[in-house]
Amino acid sequence: MGGLGEIRRRKRGAVARALTLVENEPRRARAMLREMFPHCGRSTVVGVTGPAGAGKSTLIARVAATLASEGMRPAVLAVDPTSHVTGGAIMGDRARMAGLDGSGVYVRSMASRGSRGALSASVRDCIRVLEYARYDPVIVESVGAGQTEVDIASIADITVVVFSPQTGDSIQAIKAGLTEIGDIYVVNKSDLAGASQLYDSVREFAGTGPGGQERAVVRVSSKRPSSAAALARQIAALASERRRGRKDRYAARLESELRDIVLNSVRDRAVSAMSAGNARYDRCVRDLRAGRVDPHGAAQRILGAMK
Ligand SMILES: Nc1nc2c(ncn2[C@@H]2O[C@H](COP(=O)(O)OP(=O)(O)OP(=O)(O)O)[C@@H](O)[C@H]2O)c(=O)[nH]1
Ligand SMILES: [Mg+2]
């Protein structure tokens, strides 16, 4: 491999190559990830989610810049569902616009192709690479609605949910389950009309978290840089508050990752065992149609062949 030392020292090219390997050749990445593993679990992972166009990338760029200016070493991983259209440049462009270029903040977009399970695995392993490179916090942007969504709350230590008045969110958000997962709720683009109504409805559903603590609801606007800086400080404060319980949370996260890997791999095997063109499957379907076997019997045959 040879590149591990360079990754640890945050050589950008080496970090980028490692992330590309994880994304494109997950099997080949395994040996590298195995070596990194003992050094991981020490960075705070901040998940930022919310509807498309809510202003997540703009906000993250500013939050990351503030954290960097206060001596932290943030990295940003943007899971970008539109990057097949734009070539993955969205977050990069934003970052440049927000002046992140000389800040030491590492920014990377990843395409959300493939199954949801494969994407979650890829995100987790990319986080691992960034942790190995001693970036802290690792901020993960993902769109929080639709089928390709990553279950960000199960990956992150702190989840920030971003709404904006433009996206007519409140009702869809409730449907999308975004109202349960946030530690901090952001009413973004608060310079726009409708922001105060949105603020009221977000406050209503945000309520208190499972531990009984009030969930924070904050108003932010890119027109008011101090608002993003304040959010950055709030995230940093929550991160240090949560440092105590981190070992347990990390252990729980590893267990949930293990379960995901096993379930997804069983699922993948099942899907391939039931693909048209698979001789055994085609025979099963023919027998089922002809009434020679019932659905339970057919299922047993396929399951038996999967082991
Ligand atoms: N008026 C206003 N516009 C904003 C604000 N923040 C972002 N925008 C604009 O909103 C649009 C979307 O911003 P992004 O940061 O790309 O939003 P996003 O949530 O990352 O979008 P996706 O990643 O595509 O889901 C851009 O045109 C931004 O310039 C804000 O505070 N006020
Ligand atoms: Mg974005």
Nearest protein Cα to ligand 1, atom 21: 53
Is 108 in the same domain as 222? yes
Nearest ligand to the CA of 219 is: 1
Name the residue at shortest CA distance from atom 1 of ligand 1: 189
The answer on 280 and 167 residing in a single domain is: no
Within this chain, do residues 232 and 288 fall inside the same structural domain, yes or no? no
Q: Are residues 133 and 275 in the same domain?
A: no
Please indicate, yes or no, whether residues 24 and 70 belong to a single structural domain of this protein: yes
Q: CATH number of the domain that 170 lies in? A: 3.40.50.300
Kindly state whether residues 146 and 271 are assigned to the same domain. Answer: no
Strands, sheet with 75-80, edge to edge from the N-terminal-most edge strand: 106-111, 75-80, 138-143, 45-50, 158-163, 184-187, 216-219
Question: 79-138: per-residue pLDDT in tens?
Answer: 876 544 444 445 555 555 556 777 789 999 887 777 777 888 999 999 999 999 999 999
Q: How far is the CA of 189 from the centre of ligand 1 (A)?
A: 8
pLDDT of amino acid 181: 83
Query: Could you tell which of 56, 58, 60, 93 is best to mutate to test the pocket of ligand 1, judged by most ligand atoms within 8 Å of the CB?
Result: 58
Q: Are residues 99 and 135 in the same domain?
A: yes
- Considering the domain architecture, whether residues 179 and 275 belong to the same structural domain is answered as no
Q: Are 186 and 162 in contact (CB under 8 A)?
A: yes
**81 touches 146 (CB < 8 A):** yes
State the distance from the centre of ligand 2 to the C-alpha of 98, rounded, in angstroms: 13
Same domain, residue pair 273 and 232: no
- Can you tell me the mean pLDDT for 33-51? 95
- Shared-domain flag, residues 61 and 149: yes
Domain count, the chain: 2
Which pLDDT score is estimated for 298? 96
Q: Helices in the chain by DSSP H: which ranges? A: 4-8, 12-24, 26-36, 56-69, 83-86, 90-97, 116-132, 169-176, 178-181, 195-206, 225-241, 246-273, 279-289, 295-306
DSSP secondary structure of 170-202? HHHHHHHTHHHH-SEEEE--TTSTTHHHHHHHH
Q: Do residues 211 and 121 both lie within one domain? A: yes
Q: What is the pTM of this model?
A: 0.89
- Residue 194's domain comprises 4-245
| Within a domain: 14 | yes
Radius of gyration over alpha carbons of the chain, in Å? Answer: 22
- At 220-262, the pLDDT tens digits run 999 999 999 999 999 999 999 998 888 999 999 999 999 999 9
Supply the pLDDT for residue 119: 81
Closest ligand 1 atom to residue 80 Cα is: 23
- CB under 5 Å of ion ligand 2: residues: 56-57
The answer to the question of residue 253 being in a domain is no
Residue 92: the pLDDT is 52
Q: How many residues does the chain have?
A: 307
Residue 87 lies in a domain: yes
How would you label 57-77 residue by residue, b for 16+ Cβ within 10 Å and e otherwise? bbbbbbbbbbbbeeebbbbbb
Instruction: Indicate whether 117 and 186 sit together in one domain.
Output: yes
Pick the ligand that lies closest to the CA of residue 52: 1
